[in-house]
Amino acid sequence: MGARCSRFCLCWWRSHPKPSALESTDLENGEKDSLPSFREFSWDELKAATNGFSPDNIVSEHGEKAPNVVYKGLLENERWIAVKRFNKSAWPDSRQFLDEAKAVGSLRSERLANLIGCCFEGEERLLVAEFMPNDTLAKHLFHWDKQPMKWAMRLRVALYLAQALEYCSTKGRALYHDLNAYRVLFDQDGNPRLSCFGLMKNSRDGKSYSTNLAFTPPEYLRTGRVTQESVVYSFGTMLLDLLSGKHIPPSHALDLIRGKNFLMLMDSCLEGHFSNDDGTELVRLATRCLQYEARERPNAKSLVTSLMSLQKETELTPMGEACLRMDLTAIHEILDKTGYKDDEGIANELSFQLWTNQMQETLNSKKQGDAAFRAKDFATAIDCYTQFIDGGTMVSPTAYARRCLSYLMSDMPNEALGDAIQALVVSPEWPTGFHLQAASLFALGMENDAQQSLREATNLEAKRNRN
Protein backbone atom coordinates (compact mmCIF):
# COMPACT_ATOMS: atom_id res chain seq x y z
CA MET A 1 0.00 0.00 0.00
CA GLY A 2 2.02 2.95 -1.29
CA ALA A 3 1.52 6.66 -0.81
CA ARG A 4 -0.77 6.94 -3.83
CA CYS A 5 -3.01 4.18 -2.51
CA SER A 6 -3.23 5.83 0.90
CA ARG A 7 -4.38 9.04 -0.75
CA PHE A 8 -6.68 7.84 -3.52
CA CYS A 9 -7.33 4.10 -3.44
CA LEU A 10 -10.16 4.15 -0.91
CA CYS A 11 -10.56 7.90 -0.46
CA TRP A 12 -14.32 7.71 -0.12
CA TRP A 13 -15.54 9.04 3.20
CA ARG A 14 -15.18 12.64 4.25
CA SER A 15 -13.48 13.38 7.55
CA HIS A 16 -16.59 14.63 9.36
CA PRO A 17 -19.85 12.89 10.34
CA LYS A 18 -22.50 11.87 7.87
CA PRO A 19 -25.51 14.15 7.27
CA SER A 20 -28.69 13.49 9.16
CA ALA A 21 -32.01 13.10 7.39
CA LEU A 22 -32.84 16.73 8.14
CA GLU A 23 -29.53 18.25 7.08
CA SER A 24 -29.77 20.57 4.10
CA THR A 25 -27.59 20.04 1.07
CA ASP A 26 -27.26 23.80 0.71
CA LEU A 27 -23.78 25.07 1.54
CA GLU A 28 -23.41 26.41 5.05
CA ASN A 29 -22.76 30.15 5.35
CA GLY A 30 -19.00 29.75 5.69
CA GLU A 31 -18.82 27.56 2.61
CA LYS A 32 -21.02 29.96 0.65
CA ASP A 33 -18.62 32.74 1.52
CA SER A 34 -15.60 30.70 0.39
CA LEU A 35 -17.21 29.78 -2.93
CA PRO A 36 -17.28 32.79 -5.27
CA SER A 37 -20.47 34.07 -6.83
CA PHE A 38 -21.11 33.24 -10.46
CA ARG A 39 -19.27 35.62 -12.80
CA GLU A 40 -18.16 36.04 -16.38
CA PHE A 41 -14.53 35.18 -17.14
CA SER A 42 -12.48 36.56 -19.99
CA TRP A 43 -11.01 34.30 -22.63
CA ASP A 44 -7.49 35.44 -21.72
CA GLU A 45 -8.09 34.64 -18.06
CA LEU A 46 -9.14 31.06 -18.79
CA LYS A 47 -6.41 30.61 -21.38
CA ALA A 48 -3.83 31.58 -18.78
CA ALA A 49 -5.43 29.36 -16.12
CA THR A 50 -5.27 26.28 -18.38
CA ASN A 51 -1.76 27.00 -19.68
CA GLY A 52 -3.08 27.85 -23.12
CA PHE A 53 -5.61 24.97 -23.03
CA SER A 54 -2.69 22.59 -22.94
CA PRO A 55 -3.41 18.92 -23.74
CA ASP A 56 -1.62 18.15 -20.48
CA ASN A 57 -4.47 19.88 -18.63
CA ILE A 58 -7.27 17.82 -20.19
CA VAL A 59 -9.15 15.82 -17.55
CA SER A 60 -11.89 14.38 -19.79
CA GLU A 61 -12.99 14.33 -23.39
CA HIS A 62 -15.80 12.59 -25.23
CA GLY A 63 -14.61 11.81 -28.74
CA GLU A 64 -15.50 13.12 -32.18
CA LYS A 65 -19.29 12.99 -31.81
CA ALA A 66 -19.24 15.18 -28.70
CA PRO A 67 -15.92 17.03 -28.78
CA ASN A 68 -16.49 19.06 -25.60
CA VAL A 69 -13.31 18.95 -23.56
CA VAL A 70 -12.80 19.64 -19.82
CA TYR A 71 -9.53 21.20 -18.67
CA LYS A 72 -8.04 21.66 -15.23
CA GLY A 73 -7.03 25.24 -14.54
CA LEU A 74 -5.53 27.40 -11.80
CA LEU A 75 -6.71 30.98 -11.32
CA GLU A 76 -4.49 33.79 -10.09
CA ASN A 77 -6.11 33.52 -6.65
CA GLU A 78 -4.83 29.90 -6.44
CA ARG A 79 -8.31 28.38 -6.89
CA TRP A 80 -8.42 25.22 -9.00
CA ILE A 81 -11.17 25.12 -11.60
CA ALA A 82 -12.62 22.83 -14.25
CA VAL A 83 -13.19 24.51 -17.61
CA LYS A 84 -15.53 22.91 -20.15
CA ARG A 85 -14.91 24.16 -23.67
CA PHE A 86 -17.74 23.54 -26.13
CA ASN A 87 -17.36 22.96 -29.82
CA LYS A 88 -17.99 25.91 -32.11
CA SER A 89 -21.60 25.09 -33.01
CA ALA A 90 -22.95 24.00 -29.61
CA TRP A 91 -24.25 27.41 -28.51
CA PRO A 92 -24.71 29.79 -31.47
CA ASP A 93 -26.90 32.10 -29.35
CA SER A 94 -24.63 33.72 -26.77
CA ARG A 95 -27.61 35.20 -24.88
CA GLN A 96 -29.20 31.79 -24.45
CA PHE A 97 -25.88 30.40 -23.27
CA LEU A 98 -25.43 33.19 -20.70
CA ASP A 99 -28.99 32.85 -19.39
CA GLU A 100 -28.61 29.10 -18.96
CA ALA A 101 -25.22 29.43 -17.29
CA LYS A 102 -26.50 32.08 -14.86
CA ALA A 103 -29.47 29.89 -13.92
CA VAL A 104 -27.26 26.90 -13.17
CA GLY A 105 -24.66 29.16 -11.55
CA SER A 106 -27.24 30.36 -9.03
CA LEU A 107 -27.27 26.88 -7.46
CA ARG A 108 -25.03 26.26 -4.48
CA SER A 109 -24.92 22.82 -2.83
CA GLU A 110 -22.28 20.61 -1.26
CA ARG A 111 -23.73 17.79 -3.36
CA LEU A 112 -22.78 19.55 -6.62
CA ALA A 113 -19.55 20.42 -8.36
CA ASN A 114 -20.89 23.97 -8.51
CA LEU A 115 -20.77 26.26 -11.56
CA ILE A 116 -18.85 29.44 -10.74
CA GLY A 117 -18.68 31.17 -14.10
CA CYS A 118 -18.73 31.17 -17.89
CA CYS A 119 -17.09 32.82 -20.87
CA PHE A 120 -18.43 33.73 -24.31
CA GLU A 121 -16.19 35.62 -26.69
CA GLY A 122 -16.62 35.29 -30.43
CA GLU A 123 -17.43 31.65 -31.11
CA GLU A 124 -16.00 30.44 -27.80
CA ARG A 125 -18.39 29.05 -25.14
CA LEU A 126 -16.87 27.90 -21.85
CA LEU A 127 -18.21 26.91 -18.45
CA VAL A 128 -16.18 27.17 -15.24
CA ALA A 129 -16.87 24.90 -12.26
CA GLU A 130 -15.28 23.79 -9.01
CA PHE A 131 -12.47 21.35 -9.70
CA MET A 132 -12.91 17.85 -8.25
CA PRO A 133 -9.46 16.22 -7.88
CA ASN A 134 -10.34 12.58 -7.17
CA ASP A 135 -11.66 11.26 -10.49
CA THR A 136 -15.10 9.97 -11.46
CA LEU A 137 -17.42 7.29 -10.13
CA ALA A 138 -16.80 5.39 -13.37
CA LYS A 139 -13.06 5.31 -12.64
CA HIS A 140 -13.47 4.08 -9.07
CA LEU A 141 -16.30 1.66 -9.81
CA PHE A 142 -15.33 0.13 -13.16
CA HIS A 143 -11.58 0.72 -13.50
CA TRP A 144 -10.14 0.39 -9.98
CA ASP A 145 -6.62 -1.01 -9.73
CA LYS A 146 -6.14 -1.57 -5.99
CA GLN A 147 -9.35 -2.29 -4.09
CA PRO A 148 -13.03 -2.13 -5.08
CA MET A 149 -15.39 0.49 -3.72
CA LYS A 150 -16.82 -0.59 -0.38
CA TRP A 151 -20.53 -1.26 0.10
CA ALA A 152 -20.97 1.58 2.58
CA MET A 153 -19.50 4.04 0.09
CA ARG A 154 -21.76 2.78 -2.69
CA LEU A 155 -24.72 3.50 -0.44
CA ARG A 156 -23.34 6.97 0.26
CA VAL A 157 -22.87 7.70 -3.45
CA ALA A 158 -26.50 6.73 -4.08
CA LEU A 159 -27.73 8.95 -1.24
CA TYR A 160 -25.62 11.98 -2.15
CA LEU A 161 -26.65 11.70 -5.79
CA ALA A 162 -30.33 11.52 -4.83
CA GLN A 163 -29.86 14.53 -2.55
CA ALA A 164 -28.25 16.45 -5.40
CA LEU A 165 -31.21 15.69 -7.67
CA GLU A 166 -33.69 16.63 -4.95
CA TYR A 167 -31.89 19.92 -4.31
CA CYS A 168 -31.88 20.79 -8.01
CA SER A 169 -35.56 19.90 -8.25
CA THR A 170 -36.46 22.28 -5.40
CA LYS A 171 -34.55 25.03 -7.24
CA GLY A 172 -36.41 24.53 -10.49
CA ARG A 173 -33.63 22.61 -12.27
CA ALA A 174 -35.05 19.08 -12.16
CA LEU A 175 -33.85 18.09 -15.65
CA TYR A 176 -30.42 16.50 -15.89
CA HIS A 177 -29.06 15.42 -19.24
CA ASP A 178 -27.37 12.05 -19.62
CA LEU A 179 -26.92 11.14 -15.95
CA ASN A 180 -24.19 8.48 -15.73
CA ALA A 181 -21.18 7.39 -13.71
CA TYR A 182 -18.90 9.86 -15.50
CA ARG A 183 -21.02 12.73 -14.16
CA VAL A 184 -20.29 11.87 -10.52
CA LEU A 185 -16.99 13.32 -9.30
CA PHE A 186 -15.09 13.03 -6.03
CA ASP A 187 -13.92 16.14 -4.22
CA GLN A 188 -10.79 16.70 -2.13
CA ASP A 189 -12.39 14.96 0.86
CA GLY A 190 -13.42 11.93 -1.18
CA ASN A 191 -17.10 12.92 -1.24
CA PRO A 192 -19.22 12.26 -4.34
CA ARG A 193 -20.65 15.29 -6.13
CA LEU A 194 -22.82 15.63 -9.20
CA SER A 195 -21.33 17.61 -12.09
CA CYS A 196 -23.25 20.80 -12.78
CA PHE A 197 -22.57 20.54 -16.51
CA GLY A 198 -25.44 18.11 -17.06
CA LEU A 199 -27.89 20.72 -15.74
CA MET A 200 -27.32 22.92 -18.78
CA LYS A 201 -29.79 22.69 -21.63
CA ASN A 202 -27.99 22.63 -24.92
CA SER A 203 -28.72 24.71 -27.99
CA ARG A 204 -31.43 22.26 -29.06
CA ASP A 205 -33.47 22.90 -25.89
CA GLY A 206 -32.32 19.80 -24.06
CA LYS A 207 -33.00 17.38 -26.89
CA SER A 208 -29.88 15.29 -26.46
CA TYR A 209 -29.08 11.98 -24.86
CA SER A 210 -25.68 10.58 -25.63
CA THR A 211 -25.66 7.26 -23.81
CA ASN A 212 -26.03 3.88 -25.46
CA LEU A 213 -29.64 3.25 -26.52
CA ALA A 214 -29.79 0.27 -24.15
CA PHE A 215 -29.59 2.70 -21.22
CA THR A 216 -31.84 5.42 -22.61
CA PRO A 217 -35.22 6.08 -20.89
CA PRO A 218 -38.08 4.56 -22.93
CA GLU A 219 -40.03 7.81 -23.18
CA TYR A 220 -36.99 9.61 -24.59
CA LEU A 221 -36.87 7.11 -27.42
CA ARG A 222 -40.53 7.90 -28.13
CA THR A 223 -40.55 11.68 -27.72
CA GLY A 224 -36.95 12.88 -27.77
CA ARG A 225 -37.60 14.85 -24.58
CA VAL A 226 -35.87 14.66 -21.19
CA THR A 227 -38.30 14.72 -18.24
CA GLN A 228 -37.95 14.46 -14.47
CA GLU A 229 -38.97 10.83 -14.77
CA SER A 230 -36.23 10.28 -17.36
CA VAL A 231 -33.68 11.45 -14.81
CA VAL A 232 -35.03 8.95 -12.25
CA TYR A 233 -34.71 6.18 -14.85
CA SER A 234 -31.07 7.11 -15.36
CA PHE A 235 -30.62 7.13 -11.59
CA GLY A 236 -31.90 3.55 -11.63
CA THR A 237 -29.23 2.56 -14.14
CA MET A 238 -26.63 4.05 -11.79
CA LEU A 239 -28.00 1.99 -8.90
CA LEU A 240 -27.36 -1.05 -11.09
CA ASP A 241 -23.81 0.21 -11.64
CA LEU A 242 -23.29 0.49 -7.87
CA LEU A 243 -24.76 -2.96 -7.23
CA SER A 244 -22.84 -4.78 -9.92
CA GLY A 245 -19.64 -2.81 -10.45
CA LYS A 246 -20.45 -3.05 -14.15
CA HIS A 247 -22.54 -1.12 -16.67
CA ILE A 248 -25.36 -3.66 -17.15
CA PRO A 249 -28.26 -2.91 -19.55
CA PRO A 250 -31.47 -2.41 -17.55
CA SER A 251 -33.39 -5.00 -19.59
CA HIS A 252 -30.88 -7.72 -18.69
CA ALA A 253 -30.85 -6.68 -15.02
CA LEU A 254 -34.65 -6.67 -14.82
CA ASP A 255 -34.78 -10.18 -16.30
CA LEU A 256 -32.47 -11.39 -13.53
CA ILE A 257 -34.52 -9.59 -10.89
CA ARG A 258 -37.83 -11.01 -12.13
CA GLY A 259 -36.24 -14.46 -12.03
CA LYS A 260 -35.31 -13.79 -8.39
CA ASN A 261 -31.64 -14.07 -9.28
CA PHE A 262 -30.69 -10.64 -7.98
CA LEU A 263 -27.57 -12.02 -6.27
CA MET A 264 -26.22 -12.66 -9.76
CA LEU A 265 -26.29 -8.89 -10.20
CA MET A 266 -24.10 -8.20 -7.21
CA ASP A 267 -20.44 -7.34 -7.57
CA SER A 268 -18.52 -10.48 -6.56
CA CYS A 269 -16.05 -8.24 -4.72
CA LEU A 270 -18.83 -7.38 -2.25
CA GLU A 271 -19.52 -10.95 -1.16
CA GLY A 272 -19.95 -11.07 2.61
CA HIS A 273 -19.76 -7.29 2.97
CA PHE A 274 -23.46 -6.42 2.87
CA SER A 275 -26.66 -7.82 4.32
CA ASN A 276 -29.22 -9.50 2.07
CA ASP A 277 -31.82 -7.04 3.39
CA ASP A 278 -29.76 -4.06 2.24
CA GLY A 279 -29.05 -5.67 -1.13
CA THR A 280 -32.70 -6.55 -1.61
CA GLU A 281 -33.82 -3.03 -0.76
CA LEU A 282 -31.39 -1.42 -3.21
CA VAL A 283 -32.47 -3.83 -5.96
CA ARG A 284 -36.11 -3.02 -5.19
CA LEU A 285 -35.37 0.71 -5.45
CA ALA A 286 -33.55 0.25 -8.76
CA THR A 287 -36.51 -1.73 -10.09
CA ARG A 288 -38.93 1.07 -9.17
CA CYS A 289 -36.71 3.62 -10.94
CA LEU A 290 -36.59 1.48 -14.10
CA GLN A 291 -40.34 1.05 -14.53
CA TYR A 292 -41.37 1.36 -18.19
CA GLU A 293 -44.21 3.73 -17.33
CA ALA A 294 -42.69 7.00 -16.20
CA ARG A 295 -45.52 7.79 -13.76
CA GLU A 296 -44.72 4.63 -11.77
CA ARG A 297 -41.21 5.77 -10.86
CA PRO A 298 -40.41 7.45 -7.50
CA ASN A 299 -39.49 11.11 -7.27
CA ALA A 300 -36.18 12.44 -5.95
CA LYS A 301 -37.54 13.14 -2.46
CA SER A 302 -38.77 9.56 -2.17
CA LEU A 303 -35.36 8.29 -3.29
CA VAL A 304 -33.62 10.30 -0.54
CA THR A 305 -35.96 8.90 2.12
CA SER A 306 -35.42 5.32 0.99
CA LEU A 307 -31.64 5.65 0.75
CA MET A 308 -31.31 7.48 4.05
CA SER A 309 -32.73 4.44 5.83
CA LEU A 310 -29.93 2.28 4.38
CA GLN A 311 -27.08 4.43 5.69
CA LYS A 312 -25.18 3.20 8.71
CA GLU A 313 -26.65 4.55 11.93
CA THR A 314 -23.33 4.98 13.75
CA GLU A 315 -21.61 8.28 13.04
CA LEU A 316 -17.86 7.90 12.80
CA THR A 317 -15.35 10.37 14.12
CA PRO A 318 -12.80 11.86 11.68
CA MET A 319 -10.32 9.17 12.76
CA GLY A 320 -12.90 6.43 12.20
CA GLU A 321 -13.83 7.67 8.76
CA ALA A 322 -10.16 8.00 7.78
CA CYS A 323 -9.58 4.39 8.84
CA LEU A 324 -12.66 3.16 6.99
CA ARG A 325 -11.52 4.71 3.74
CA MET A 326 -7.87 3.78 4.49
CA ASP A 327 -6.79 7.39 4.02
CA LEU A 328 -3.39 7.04 5.69
CA THR A 329 -2.56 10.68 5.00
CA ALA A 330 -5.55 11.80 7.08
CA ILE A 331 -4.66 9.35 9.87
CA HIS A 332 -1.13 10.77 9.91
CA GLU A 333 -2.45 14.33 10.25
CA ILE A 334 -4.71 13.31 13.15
CA LEU A 335 -1.96 11.44 15.03
CA ASP A 336 0.45 14.34 14.48
CA LYS A 337 -2.05 16.89 15.84
CA THR A 338 -3.10 14.72 18.77
CA GLY A 339 0.45 14.22 20.01
CA TYR A 340 0.88 12.28 23.26
CA LYS A 341 -2.07 13.63 25.20
CA ASP A 342 -3.62 10.15 25.53
CA ASP A 343 -0.50 8.66 27.14
CA GLU A 344 -1.54 8.43 30.78
CA GLY A 345 1.23 9.32 33.17
CA ILE A 346 4.03 9.46 30.60
CA ALA A 347 4.73 13.17 31.21
CA ASN A 348 5.26 12.60 34.95
CA GLU A 349 7.36 9.51 34.27
CA LEU A 350 9.53 11.47 31.85
CA SER A 351 10.14 14.33 34.29
CA PHE A 352 11.05 11.88 37.05
CA GLN A 353 13.49 9.82 34.99
CA LEU A 354 15.14 12.46 32.80
CA TRP A 355 18.26 12.57 34.97
CA THR A 356 19.50 9.13 33.87
CA ASN A 357 21.69 8.80 30.79
CA GLN A 358 19.71 5.80 29.57
CA MET A 359 16.53 7.80 29.85
CA GLN A 360 18.07 10.67 27.93
CA GLU A 361 19.08 8.35 25.09
CA THR A 362 15.60 6.81 25.04
CA LEU A 363 13.99 10.23 25.00
CA ASN A 364 16.24 11.32 22.13
CA SER A 365 15.13 8.28 20.12
CA LYS A 366 11.50 9.27 20.67
CA LYS A 367 12.18 12.87 19.66
CA GLN A 368 13.99 11.75 16.52
CA GLY A 369 11.13 9.39 15.74
CA ASP A 370 8.60 12.20 16.17
CA ALA A 371 10.60 14.48 13.87
CA ALA A 372 10.80 11.78 11.20
CA PHE A 373 7.10 10.98 11.62
CA ARG A 374 6.21 14.64 11.17
CA ALA A 375 8.43 14.83 8.07
CA LYS A 376 6.82 11.62 6.71
CA ASP A 377 10.17 9.83 6.72
CA PHE A 378 8.50 6.63 7.86
CA ALA A 379 11.52 4.32 7.53
CA THR A 380 13.51 6.50 9.95
CA ALA A 381 10.47 6.83 12.20
CA ILE A 382 10.23 3.03 12.46
CA ASP A 383 13.91 2.75 13.41
CA CYS A 384 13.75 5.50 16.03
CA TYR A 385 10.50 4.35 17.62
CA THR A 386 11.91 0.80 17.73
CA GLN A 387 14.92 2.09 19.70
CA PHE A 388 12.57 3.94 22.04
CA ILE A 389 10.28 0.94 22.57
CA ASP A 390 13.14 -1.55 22.93
CA GLY A 391 14.75 0.73 25.53
CA GLY A 392 12.05 -0.53 27.87
CA THR A 393 12.27 2.33 30.36
CA MET A 394 8.73 3.51 29.65
CA VAL A 395 5.67 2.39 27.71
CA SER A 396 3.88 4.75 25.30
CA PRO A 397 0.75 3.68 23.41
CA THR A 398 1.18 6.71 21.12
CA ALA A 399 4.66 5.54 20.11
CA TYR A 400 3.15 2.17 19.17
CA ALA A 401 0.39 3.99 17.27
CA ARG A 402 2.84 6.13 15.32
CA ARG A 403 5.04 3.17 14.48
CA CYS A 404 1.89 1.28 13.45
CA LEU A 405 0.99 3.97 10.92
CA SER A 406 4.62 4.11 9.74
CA TYR A 407 4.40 0.38 9.04
CA LEU A 408 1.14 0.87 7.13
CA MET A 409 2.75 3.64 5.09
CA SER A 410 5.60 1.22 4.34
CA ASP A 411 3.23 -1.55 3.22
CA MET A 412 3.92 -3.73 6.29
CA PRO A 413 0.39 -4.49 7.55
CA ASN A 414 1.32 -7.50 9.73
CA GLU A 415 3.83 -5.45 11.70
CA ALA A 416 1.28 -2.62 11.91
CA LEU A 417 -1.33 -4.96 13.39
CA GLY A 418 1.17 -6.10 16.01
CA ASP A 419 1.76 -2.50 17.12
CA ALA A 420 -1.97 -1.72 17.22
CA ILE A 421 -2.47 -4.71 19.49
CA GLN A 422 0.44 -3.61 21.72
CA ALA A 423 -1.09 -0.13 22.01
CA LEU A 424 -4.31 -1.76 23.24
CA VAL A 425 -2.39 -3.93 25.71
CA VAL A 426 -1.06 -0.72 27.25
CA SER A 427 -4.39 1.20 27.00
CA PRO A 428 -7.24 -1.33 26.59
CA GLU A 429 -9.94 1.34 26.16
CA TRP A 430 -8.08 3.68 23.81
CA PRO A 431 -10.18 4.40 20.70
CA THR A 432 -7.10 5.22 18.61
CA GLY A 433 -5.73 1.74 19.24
CA PHE A 434 -8.92 0.17 17.90
CA HIS A 435 -8.94 2.60 14.96
CA LEU A 436 -5.44 1.58 13.95
CA GLN A 437 -6.25 -2.08 14.50
CA ALA A 438 -9.14 -1.60 12.06
CA ALA A 439 -6.89 0.11 9.51
CA SER A 440 -4.36 -2.73 9.78
CA LEU A 441 -7.07 -5.35 9.35
CA PHE A 442 -8.49 -3.52 6.34
CA ALA A 443 -4.98 -3.53 4.84
CA LEU A 444 -4.81 -7.30 5.40
CA GLY A 445 -8.19 -7.81 3.70
CA MET A 446 -9.88 -8.90 6.95
CA GLU A 447 -12.99 -6.82 6.38
CA ASN A 448 -15.32 -8.29 9.04
CA ASP A 449 -12.71 -8.13 11.81
CA ALA A 450 -11.84 -4.58 10.76
CA GLN A 451 -15.49 -3.51 10.94
CA GLN A 452 -15.73 -5.01 14.45
CA SER A 453 -12.68 -3.02 15.58
CA LEU A 454 -14.15 0.11 14.05
CA ARG A 455 -17.41 -0.42 15.94
CA GLU A 456 -15.47 -0.87 19.18
CA ALA A 457 -13.58 2.38 18.56
CA THR A 458 -16.82 4.22 17.79
CA ASN A 459 -18.47 2.92 20.95
CA LEU A 460 -15.50 4.00 23.07
CA GLU A 461 -15.53 7.47 21.48
CA ALA A 462 -19.25 7.78 22.24
CA LYS A 463 -18.62 6.67 25.83
CA ARG A 464 -15.90 9.30 26.22
CA ASN A 465 -18.19 12.02 24.89
CA ARG A 466 -20.91 11.08 27.38
CA ASN A 467 -18.53 11.28 30.36
Q: Please list the alpha-helical segments (H only) found in 292-446.
A: 300-308, 318-324, 328-338, 346-353, 357-374, 378-391, 397-409, 413-426, 431-443
Q: How many helices (H) and strands (E) does the chain have?
A: 20, 9
Of 197, 203, 169, nearest in space to 182 by CA? 197
Q: What is the largest CA-CA distance in the chain?
A: 86
Among 178, 241, 343, 370, which one carries the catalytic annotation? 178
Measured distance CA(32)–CA(138) in Å, rounded: 29
Q: Which 8-state DSSP code applies to residue 15?
A: S
Measured distance CA(39)–CA(43) in Å, rounded: 13
Measured distance CA(223)–CA(179) in Å, rounded: 18
178 included as an active-site residue: yes
Cβ-based burial of 417 (10 A; exposed 0-12, middle 13-18, buried ≥19): buried
Measured distance CA(68)–CA(52) in Å, rounded: 16
Close Cβ partners of 368 (under 8 Å, ≥ 6 residues apart): 380, 384
Q: DSSP readout, 59-110?
A: EE---TTS--EEEEEE-TTS-EEEEEE--TTS---HHHHHHHHHHHHT--BT
Query: Which residues are catalytically annotated?
Result: 178
